[in-house]
Amino acid sequence: MRAFLLTILLLIAQPLWAQDLGAVLDANRDQIAKPSRQTIGPVITEIAAAGEGADRVLAAWADRRLGLAGDRFVIVEGDSATDAVTGESVTGDVDGLRPNSGVRGLIAAALVQFQLTDPDPVRRRAALTAIARQSDESHLAALREAPAESDPILAARRDRLERLLTIQYDTDTDARLAAIDSFDGDAGTDLQAVLNPLLATTRFAGPELPADANVARALTPDSENLPRAEAYRLLVDAGLAEPRPTDADIKAALTANIAGDAVGGVPVADLGDPDRRDDAYTALAEAGTVPTAATADEVDSALEANAFADLFTEPSSEITDAARASLRGMQTREGIMQALDLSLDALSLASIYFLAAIGLAITFGVMRVINMAHGEFIMMGAYTGYVTQTMIADRTLSLIVALPLAFAITFGAGVLLYQLVIRHLVKRPLETLLATFGVSIALQQLAKNIFGTQARPLTAPAWLEGSITFADGVSISTIRVAIFVLALLFLGLFLFLMNRTRLGLQVRAVTQNPGMAASMGINPDRIAMMTFGLGSGIAGIAGVAIGLFAKVTSELGSDYIVQSFMTVVVGGVGNIWGTLAGAALIGGLQKGIEVLNPSNTLAAQTYMILFIIIFIQFRPRGIMPQRGRMAEA
């Protein structure tokens, strides 16, 4: 280090102290010819300070292009060779120098200062990249002493690199703290790579902590962070305690020393008792047959007598505190980004549930009927999309055809179901539930028989593939955006239908009071049929949408049906805003619980259902209950 500072000093004072390159080379000829990593440092420093031409010589030396022709140093360029000092061409045999990789590393480090001042910005950038990839403390001084950078981008990069190296190599604590502080708000991976090693710890075990130790955290033996066996092993490794054989070791030792039907005076039959085993082992140890071992009591007292801690390898607590704070800030910002990403996920999940549940909610609102076959209508829609795609090759066109087709088919199926089954079971909601369940298992098996059990692909058009990225780590796939838009579209369509059309008026009237509506000339049977068909039709469209990102199987519907039920129950019936709120709650909750325990989606669903069961305690009729005289019926 000191030698290097001297070099810098020499460089600055070049006009005064300039030494002739030739003289330097001549003076150190033997060293240069047969360099050793330990002793070559001062020589390289001297050459680097030799002024004009020194960088050429060092570069050639590092590239193994420097050679000796007689007593002159020459630089080999392909077939020709030039004198290292004067630059005139040289003929004759050249004895090439082959410095080993250690020496070449030293040369490369010395070269950095030349590259940093190189007039070519490409080479300057390359030098910065090289330092960023692998740095050592000599680079810090080189960076600091290099003349001002003219290119603003390179200047910023160099400044950042200099501060990073300051954190790593500077000897002055205040300068390092200032450098860490200067990165406030930054979350670059290079910064993390610099900060994380500062927080490296080693595990300490001993009678008491060293006075100047920078303690990361104190540990108590037999806790989650330091299991008992691990703590004792630390003591044994530190030479502070005798090793204690494991239970298996003891057993093996006892087995090896069975004499007749006793071990160490203890009958073999008694060895099922752990205390008796200890007795036997102690007896063997006293007799000298097995090595002595710490008893359980000794282990306890040894663990009691010693302190355990994680110590930072970095001695300064100020530095570690600053690094920890900085990293924590980074984690917080990362967490916010993740939360953002998650809320996008939750939003798309909520729109899927909304699409799946909206039809269920309408039919339940109007007729008090839960349609268990709703999930199978979703499946029917997805299969419609699949069949359309097998007939129409163009994906965009087939999707455009499939959406209305799915609506039409499931609308028809819904109307058929209503006419054949549900209208005969009016006022018997539980039986409707069971009858539609019968339809559900029949439809599901029918789909299995027709399309087979394996999943069928429903491929999205190219413009729906890929994802939209908002920021680092915040992205959402385009299909989910499309589903969100579709959900919004249906919300708008539904609001329009309910509030602005005659059908909507009639539906609302039947929902509120079927008897009164009938006496006003509305045919409740027809209205119920229309709403049932409409709800089923929307299920079909939801099916196409779900099929785009999930595999189309006969069980597609049943995967979503329970969540759809939940959405209806939580949201309340007879009000589309309730369904929306229910879907948002269920989707948000599911994603929210998932983030708390990302590895376990099963647990997330379990807790979500538990939450809903408890939620029903407080709002038995959902978030937006139906009001009016019919609500209690």
Partner 1 sequence: MFIRKDPSILVFLAILALFTIGATLMSEAYGSGALPTSMIKVLGKTLCLALAALAMDLVWGYAGILSLGHMAFFALGGYMIGMWLMYARTGEIVSATLSRAAIPPTPAELQDGIASQIFGVVGSSDLPLAWTFAGSLPIQLILIVAVPGLLALVFGWLAFRSRVNGVYLSILTQAMTLALALYLFQNDSGFRGNNGLSGLQNIPGLTDVPQADISIWFLWASAGALALAYVLAAWLVSGKFGSVIRAIRDDESRVRFLGYSVEGYKLTIFTLTAMLCAIAGALYYPQAGIINPAELAPIASIYLAVWVAIGGRGRLYGAVIGAVVVSLLSSWFTGGRAPDLSLGFYTIDWVDWWQVLLGLSFVLVTLFAPRGLSSLIDLAARLRHPSRRGRDLGPDVGALREREAKA
Residues contributing to the site for partner 1 (CB under 8 A): 247, 251, 254-255, 258, 263, 268-269, 271-274, 277, 364, 368, 370, 421, 424-425, 429-431, 433-435, 437-446, 448-449, 558, 562, 565-566, 569, 600, 602-603, 605-606, 609-610, 612-614, 616-618, 620
Question: Is residue 439 a contact partner of residue 417, using CB atoms and an 8 Å limit?
Answer: yes
The burial of 93, by beta-carbon neighbours within 10 Å (0-12 exposed, 13-18 middle, 19 or more buried), is given as exposed
Least Å distance, CB 433 to partner 1, is: 6
Question: Is residue 464 a contact partner of residue 548, using CB atoms and an 8 Å limit?
Answer: yes
Spell out the residues 6+ positions from residue 520 whose beta carbon is closer than 8 angstroms to its own: 509
Instruction: Rank residues 340 and 616 by Cβ distance to partner 1 and give the closer one.
Output: 616
Beta strands in 179-336 (DSSP E): 201-206, 215-219, 262-263, 266-267, 307-312
Question: Is residue 249 a contact partner of residue 218, using CB atoms and an 8 Å limit?
Answer: no
The first and second tokens of residue 484, run together, are 């969100």
The burial of 71, by beta-carbon neighbours within 10 Å (0-12 exposed, 13-18 middle, 19 or more buried), is given as exposed
Pick from 456, 485, 493, 462: nearest CA to 382: 456
Instruction: Rank residues 44 and 280 by Cβ distance to partner 1 and give the closer one.
Output: 280
Instruction: Rank residues 429 and 628 by Cβ distance to partner 1 and give the closer one.
Output: 429
Distance CA 74, CA 93 (A): 11
Helices (H), 257-373: 274-287, 296-305, 317-367
Instruction: Rank residues 168 and 567 by Cβ distance to partner 1 and give the closer one.
Output: 567
Least Å distance, CB 210 to partner 1, is: 37
Least Å distance, CB 603 to partner 1, is: 6
Instruction: Rank residues 61 and 377 by Cβ distance to partner 1 and give the closer one.
Output: 377
Least Å distance, CB 460 to partner 1, is: 29
Distance CA 280, CA 274 (A): 10
Instruction: Rank residues 187 and 421 by Cβ distance to partner 1 and give the closer one.
Output: 421
Least Å distance, CB 278 to partner 1, is: 11
Instruction: Rank residues 150 and 606 by Cβ distance to partner 1 and give the closer one.
Output: 606
Least Å distance, CB 528 to partner 1, is: 16
Distance CA 304, CA 298 (A): 10
Question: Is residue 626 a contact partner of residue 574, using CB atoms and an 8 Å limit?
Answer: yes
The first and second tokens of residue 96, run together, are 């090439």
For residue 212, the 8-state DSSP code is T
Instruction: Rank residues 325 and 610 by Cβ distance to partner 1 and give the closer one.
Output: 610
The burial of 492, by beta-carbon neighbours within 10 Å (0-12 exposed, 13-18 middle, 19 or more buried), is given as exposed
For residue 246, the 8-state DSSP code is -
Place of tokens 């429903």: 458
Pairing of β 215-219 and β 467-471: unpaired
Question: Is residue 544 a contact partner of residue 403, using CB atoms and an 8 Å limit?
Answer: yes
Provide the greatest CA pair distance for the chain: 121
> Please, what is the angle between helix 54-62 and helix 101-116, to 10°?
140
Instruction: Rank residues 398 and 553 by Cβ distance to partner 1 and give the closer one.
Output: 553
Least Å distance, CB 552 to partner 1, is: 19
Half-sphere exposure of 293 (CA within 13 A, CB side): 22
Least Å distance, CB 269 to partner 1, is: 6
Place of tokens 């630059």: 87
Place of tokens 């066109």: 397
Least Å distance, CB 582 to partner 1, is: 12
Least Å distance, CB 172 to partner 1, is: 50
Least Å distance, CB 300 to partner 1, is: 18
Instruction: Rank residues 307 and 616 by Cβ distance to partner 1 and give the closer one.
Output: 616
Least Å distance, CB 628 to partner 1, is: 17
Beta bridge partners of 477: 467
Could you tell me if residue 190 is left (phi over 0), alpha (psi between -120 and 50 degrees) or otherwise beta? alpha
Instruction: Rank residues 453 and 475 by Cβ distance to partner 1 and give the closer one.
Output: 453
Beta bridge partners of 229: none
Instruction: Rank residues 20 and 273 by Cβ distance to partner 1 and give the closer one.
Output: 273
Least Å distance, CB 241 to partner 1, is: 23
Instruction: Rank residues 118 and 279 by Cβ distance to partner 1 and give the closer one.
Output: 279
